[in-house]
Chains A and B, each alone.
Chain A
Amino acid sequence: MGYRKTVKILEHQKKIIDKIIYDGFSRCSPKGVYEKLSITGINHNKVNLENKLVLKGYAIVKFLKKCCGVFLIAVTAGNEIVDYRDKLISEENINASAILDAVGSEVVEEYAERLHHMLDTLIIKTGYTVTKNRFSPGYGDLNLDIQKKFCDLLDAEKIGISVSKSYILIPEKSITAIIGIKERE
């Protein structure tokens, strides 16, 4: 939300914001699922994964160039934070709703980050490692229309994630991403 060292803020204003943040955190229940898949084929504009999922696009090919497999992940901060935010929007409490929205985003990002790190920890002991970055549907030329198949494959429904007609993940504070697996020296 643009907080940086240059920001000057009164103590009581900070307290009000902290209270909303704290409240927001308690309304997040982050959950995640993942699946490890081998790359069975890769050419100039698509990557084939076992189970017949195909990732199309030049960007994803570039991202997975040196990889032998992938982790597909789906994570969510849960329903409650989004519902609560929407309740506040309907009450025209714009400030609190905007802060809660940011809390939800932070929580789901941080959770994805930690899951990413966990997968690395687990796999590094077997002589592999993972890509430093994550690649999500919608990045570059990897179409968002893959969301549905992606979530079905992960059975993301069981952590409460569904996909809307326009490929938006529901609850809103959810992320799907691809993490590459590559050999370690």
Chain B
Amino acid sequence: MTVNNFYDLLNNKILVLDGATGTELQKSGMPQGVCPEKWAFDNPEVIMDIHKKYIDSGSDIIYSSTFGGTRLKLSEFGLGDKTYELNVKLAKLAKEAAGTKGYVAGDIAPTGKFIEPFGDFPFEDAVNVYKEQAKALLDGGVDLFVLETMIDIQEIRAALIAVKEICDLPVIASMTFNEDQLTLTGTDPVSALITLQSLGADIVGCNCSTGPDKMVEVIKKMKPFAKVPLLAKPNAGLPKLKNGKTIFDMTADEFASFVPDFLDAGVNLIGGCCGTSFEYIKKVKEKVTGSLPQKPRIKSISALSSARKTVFHEIGKNICIIGERINPTGKKKLQEELREGKFDEVKRFAVEQAQSGSDLLDVNMGMSGIDEKKMMINAVKILSSSSNLPLVIDSSNPEVIEAALRIYPGRALINSISAEKNKLDKLLPIAAKYGAMFILLPLNDNEIPKTADGRINIVNEIFSKAKEYGFTKDDIVVDCLVMTISSDQNAAKETLKLIKWCREVFKCNTVIGLSNVSFGLPQRKYINAGFLAMSIANGLSMAIANPSDELLMFLKYASDALIGNDNNCIGYIKKFSNLQDKKDKKESGKKDKNPEDMVYDSVLDGDKENIIEYIKKAINNNITPNNIVDDYLIKAINKVGDLYENKEYFLPQLIASAESMKTAFGYLEPLLSKKNNEDNKKKIKIILATVKGDIHDIGKNIVGLMLKNYGYKVIDLGKDVACDKIIETAVNEKVDIIGLSALMTTTMTEMKNVVDNARKIKNNIKIIIGGAVITKSYAEEIGADGFAKDGIEAVKLVGKLLSN
């Protein structure tokens, strides 16, 4: 069946799929623990009977019984060598059963491996595993393919690429979404749809995991953005436990009662997954009969996706910032790292740009002395798991672009395709194969046209070629070419003209790389920001820029609001109302409060940056350092302790407060010691250590910080500390208290060892213990003097022990 035939079919009616097969095989006597594919192969009459019953119940398409038919799954039963044989035969059996009454979809499902970048199984190996199965199914005569129950966008991409590379049959791509409407690797329905339909899936949908009620919501989310028909194959409700067995308890009537909701949501193919049977399909068929299908609402879409996010590019909406920083040009540190094969800077730029408002990340690995293709693949892998932003693949080498698009688990934007002969011919088919959008660079082998008119000619030339590959205006973004105004006075004007033409006449998205415009001028940021504002006024949709440039970003928000891109100025208000609040608060605080109260507030707010400044001012106001400690710092940290115990503060706030207090102490200590020499001599010493064998010390560090804030001298011996070292330090340093930490049942026994040995040598020493698995009764059992569950309690416990 060709894709067009398939679409013709779908234009006229809702197609009904089959229901569960695995459970039917079990009902027919398949024993526990056997390979279902092999058992069906050995019992052809049983599987054919099941297929036939689904056809008789009204299925227009049945799935071949090859869910576990990849070499990897079959190998679990020692049947890897039978991959071809089993798949061919099972496809043939399904075809024979369907006869002329229905179509057979070759069923392809997860391999059970984690594919890179989310796992360690090589992507190309996954493609090959799927190719092997798909070829066998093709030889078995299937009419189309279905990739189903896929839980990882990268794995379904591997399967889709595999099938597309061996034949032109229609392919259904169906993923499984959890109740939170995300796949295993965190992909939402819309991002899955955008990625799969652009990569060439002819139908997109979802199956398994949830009941029909939840699945309707997934279809509703997808429909507005789908240029392909949609499929739903839900379970018969959620699995429930009954008498120790898991069952799906939704009846066939209940199940079928959701059919009208699915049709309203825009589903074109519907069937059943786990817990459904012939009866369910019969009822579904009754419900769909006579209903007319909803065709896809759109023909193309301007949208880019990552594994976890979609960014839409509707003309007339807020402009989109492409973060330009992941590019070694002019960045020494990044260059050094890339030469060593490191990606820390790349990751840092990704996080930083995302936080300062980038919508997309440009990735460029072009630099002498490194293997650009290899580095690009690695960068794409790292960024697609560490960042949510869709990527812009930036390279002058078509091979590098292809390698990046192949591995990227989303729909990327190519930067860029020009009319240069060798690039245009190579890159258009690559862009088409992977369904990428591309930046159209209006220059050719001969020239970079100076005028807008010259550039318009090239835009038309490239677009007419791109149309042959199925591209629409939604798929392209015209780079309006920014030249330097210091060398050509009219450069900016021509760019603006082209932006306006693209927006008003040609009607497509546009992009500019800003910084070129100001080259050679002083204070370039003003020119850049001004030019961005003017470009937005002329209809610009994207800018490649450094999002950490505040002036630029502020003008972007202002321009979007002014030109009407920013609906009700929501984006502007969201960005700036907070800034205003913060400033107001700071200023009013400064006016109303004296510096010593600000010291108190700084501890409460965990503000270690400003606390010393306030202390200095307080001292100038004749507040003694001792007063500051007793009346402000200690009071504040006690208040923090109360807030924490009342659950109004959570741990990071407690620690931030303790850290600002520590900063204050660090400053005040030398001032105190002059007056309080005697006090200082009596200072209580406490050892803290995580016991031998244990490496967990986060909790112990927090306890240490809290104790220091109450004026104790803390000797932190670190983690995995031997008993001897603890005792030796206790003796040498004349320590008053030992605090031990352990997180595990296996290492907590070491605490007893320390207690016993310490008592032998220094009978009066106090020992306190804590850690996730430690209890009060354990402390009593091993003869420790006390147990504290957190830093606050540790401070109280120490106080109590000392007063006794």
Q: A31 to B702, alpha carbons, bound, how many Å?
A: 29
B109 cross-chain contacts in A, Cβ below 8 A: 122, 125
Given known contacts A26-B387, A126-B68, A127-B23, A185 and B246 CB-to-CB distance under 8 angstroms? yes
Per-residue contact bits, chain B 624-646, to A (CB 8 Å; 1 contact, 0 not): 00000000000000000001101
Known interface pairs A121-B151, A168-B695, A185-B242; A3-B274 also in contact (CB < 8 Å): no
Say yes or no: is A99 at the interface (Cβ < 8 Å to chain B): yes
B607 smallest CB distance to A (angstroms):
8
Is residue A117 within 8 Å, beta carbon to beta carbon, of the partner chain? yes
Chain A residues, CB < 8 A from B656:
13, 16, 95
What residues on B are CB-neighbors of A168 within 8 Å? 693-695, 744
Q: Flag if B114 contacts A32 (CB, 8 Å).
A: yes
B residues contacting the other copy or chain, number (CB 8 A): 76
Q: How far is the CB of B534 from chain A (nearest CB, A)?
A: 32
Map CB proximity to A onto B238-267 as digits: 1 under 8 Å, 0 otherwise.
Answer: 010110111100000000000000000000
A88 to chain B, nearest CB (A): 10
Q: Say whether B659 contacts A95, CB under 8 Å.
A: yes
A158 contacts which of B120, B185, B355 (Cβ < 8 Å)?
B120
Task: Decide: B648 and A6 in contact? CB cutoff 8 A.
Answer: yes
Q: Does A106 contact B (CB under 8 A)?
A: no
User: Does B521 belong to the interface (CB within 8 Å)?
Assistant: no
For window 1-22 of A, CB contacts with B under 8 Å fall at: 1-4, 6-13, 16-17, 19, 22
Residues from chain B with Cβ under 8 Å of A152 in the complex:
none
Task: Verify A124–B208 contact, CB threshold 8 A.
Answer: yes
Is B551's beta carbon under 8 Å from chain A? no
8 Å CB contacts to A: which residues of B479-508?
Answer: none
Q: A94 an interface residue at 8 Å Cβ cutoff?
A: yes
**Are B149 and A125 interface neighbours, CB within 8 A?**
yes
* Per-residue interface assignment for chain B, residues 334 to 356, with 1 indicating a CB less than 8 Å from any chain A CB and 0 otherwise: 00000000000001001100110
Q: Known A-B contacts: A126-B36, A127-B25, A185-B246. Give 5 more (CB < 8 A).
A: A1-B652, A6-B648, A125-B273, A129-B246, A184-B246
Contact B655 A98 (CB under 8 A): yes
| 4 tightest A-B CB contacts, nearest first | A166-B693, A1-B651, A95-B655, A129-B246
Identify 22 residue pairs between A and B in the complex whose beta-carbon atoms are under 8 Å apart, listed by A's number: A2-B644, A2-B647, A4-B647, A6-B647, A8-B643, A11-B578, A13-B653, A22-B354, A26-B386, A27-B386, A94-B701, A114-B185, A117-B184, A122-B110, A124-B208, A124-B239, A132-B241, A144-B745, A168-B694, A172-B695, A183-B245, A184-B247
Q: Is the CB of B244 within 8 A of A38?
A: no
Measured CB to CB, the nearest residue on chain B to A124 is B274
Q: Is the CB of A68 within 8 A of B120?
A: no
Contact residue among A2, A26, A138 (Cβ-Cβ distance under 8 Å from B350) = A26
Contact of A2 among B239, B650, B705 (CB under 8 A): B650
If A3-B650, A7-B650, A11-B578 touch, does A122 touch B32 (CB 8 Å cutoff)?
A: no
A118-B746 contact in complex given A2-B647, A26-B350, C-beta closer than 8 Å: no
Closest Cβ of chain A to B506, distance in Å, is 39
Q: Given A7-B649, A144-B746, does the pair A183, B32 have CB atoms closer than 8 Å? A: yes
Does chain A have a CB within 8 A of B224? no
B651-A2 in contact (CB<8A)? yes
B239 near A68 (CB under 8 angstroms)? no
Q: Is the CB of B693 within 8 A of A165?
A: yes
Q: Is A133 an interface residue (CB 8 A)?
A: no
The docked-state distance in angstroms from the alpha carbon of A111 to that of B399 is 34
Contact of A127 among B26, B701, B746 (CB under 8 A): B26
> A95-B659, A125-B67, A165-B693 given as contacts; is B582 within 8 A of A12 (CB)?
yes
Q: CA separation between A29 and B26, bound complex, in Å?
A: 39
- Cβ distance A134 to chain B, nearest Cβ, rounded Å: 16
With both beta carbons as reference points, the residue of chain A lying nearest to B114 in the complex is identified as: A32
B605 within 8 A of A: yes
Q: Which of B22, B646, B694 has the most CB of A within 10 A?
A: B22
Q: Does B33 contact A (CB under 8 A)?
A: yes
Q: Which residues of A contact B118 (CB under 8 A)?
A: 30
Within 8 A of B (CB), among A136-173: 138, 144, 158-159, 164-168, 172
Q: Which residue from chain A places its CB closest to the CB of B25 in the assembled complex?
A: A127
CA distance A6 to B646 in the complex (A): 8
B63 to chain A minimum Cβ distance, whole angstroms, is: 11
User: A residues bordering B, Cβ < 8 Å?
Assistant: 1-4, 6-13, 16-17, 19, 22-23, 25-27, 29-32, 36, 38, 66, 68-69, 85, 89, 94-95, 97-99, 101, 114-115, 117-118, 121-122, 124-127, 129, 132, 138, 144, 158-159, 164-168, 172, 182-185
- The contact string, 1 if C-beta is below 8 Å from chain A, for chain B 138-179, is 000000000001010000000000000000000000001010
B206 to chain A, nearest CB (A): 12
Q: How far is B744's CA from A69's CA once the two chains are assembled, in angstroms?
A: 28
Residues of B within 8 A of A97 (CB): 698, 701
In the bound complex, how far is the Cα of B476 from the Cα of A21, in angstroms? 36
Main secondary structure on A side of the interface with B: mixed
Q: Give min CB distance, A95 to chain B, whole Å.
A: 4
Would A94 and B650 be within 8 Å (CB), given that A36-B76, A89-B697, A165-B693 are in contact? Answer: no
Q: How far is the CA of A90 from the CA of B694 in the complex (A)?
A: 17
Measured between alpha carbons, how far is A127 from B277 in the docked complex, in Å? 13
Q: Which of A7, A32, A94, A127 contacts B22 (CB 8 A)?
A: A127
- Taking a contact as CB atoms under 8 Å apart, the answer to whether B208 and A125 are in contact is yes
CA distance A23 to B606 in the complex (A): 20
- Name the residue among B151, B245, B644, B652 with the largest chain A CB count within 10 angstroms: B652
A38/B22 in contact, CB under 8 A: no
| Given A97-B701, A121-B208, A166-B693, CB of A138 within 8 Å of CB of B744 | yes
Selected contact of A101 from candidates B149, B151, B698, CB within 8 Å: B698
In whole angstroms, what is the CA distance A126 to B66 when docked? Answer: 11
**B152 → A minimal CB distance (Å):** 8
A-side contacts of B350, CB under 8 Å:
26
- Give CA–CA (A37, B659) in the complex, Å: 50
Query: How far does the alpha carbon of A97 sit from the alpha carbon of B719 in the complex, in Å?
Result: 15
Complex Cα distance A183/B239, Å? Answer: 13
Chain A residues closer than 8 Å to B744, beta-carbon distance: 138, 144, 166, 168
Asked if residues A17 and B246 are in contact (CB atoms below 8 Å), the reply is: no
Interface flag for B581 (CB, 8 Å): yes
In the assembled complex, B13 has its CB within 8 A of some CB on chain A: no
Whether the Cβ atoms of B650 and A121 lie closer than 8 Å is no
Task: Tell whether, in the assembled complex, residue B351 and residue A22 are in contact, meaning their CB atoms are under 8 Å apart.
Answer: yes
Q: Is B20 an interface residue (CB 8 A)?
A: yes
CB–CB A117/B351 < 8 A = no
B747 an interface residue at 8 Å Cβ cutoff?
yes
> Which residues of chain B from 655 to 686 have a CB within 8 Å of any chain A CB?
655-656, 658-659
The residue that A95 contacts in the complex, of B32, B644, B652, with Cβ under 8 A, is B652
Check: B290 CB closer than 8 A to any chain A CB.
no
Complex-state Cα separation, A172 to B694, whole angstroms = 11
Check if B655 sits within 8 Å of A94, measured CB to CB.
yes
Q: Which residues of chain A are near B747, meaning CB under 8 Å?
A: 166
CA separation between A95 and B649, bound complex, in Å?
A: 14
Query: In the complex, which of the residues B32, B149, B386, B606 contacts A121, with contact meaning CB atoms closer than 8 Å?
Result: B149
Distance between Cα atoms of A135 and B185 in the complex (Å): 23
Q: Once the chains bind, are B184 and A66 in contact (CB under 8 Å)?
A: no
Closest to B693 in A: A166
Contacts of A12 in B (CB 8 A): 582
**Cβ contact within 8 Å between A29 and B385:** yes
Which residue in chain B gives the minimum CB-CB distance to A15? B578
Look across to chain A and name the residue whose beta carbon is closest to the beta carbon of B651: A1
Knowing A13-B606, A184-B246, the reply to whether A118 touches B151 (Cβ < 8 A) is: yes
Q: How far is the CA of A166 from the CA of B22 in the complex (A)?
A: 44
Q: Which of B67, B578, B606, B696 has the most CB of A within 10 A?
A: B606
With the chains together, A10 CA to B643 CA distance in Å?
14
User: Is B745 within 8 A of A166, CB to CB?
Assistant: no
- The answer to whether A126 touches B22 (Cβ under 8 A) is yes
Interchain nearest-CB distance for B353 vs A (Å): 12
What is the distance, in angstroms, from B573's C-beta to the closest C-beta of chain A? 15
Q: Mark B380-393, 1 if CB is under 8 A from A, else 0.
A: 00000111000000
Contacts of A182 in B (CB 8 A): 244-246
Complex CA–CA separation, A19 to B652 (angstroms): 13
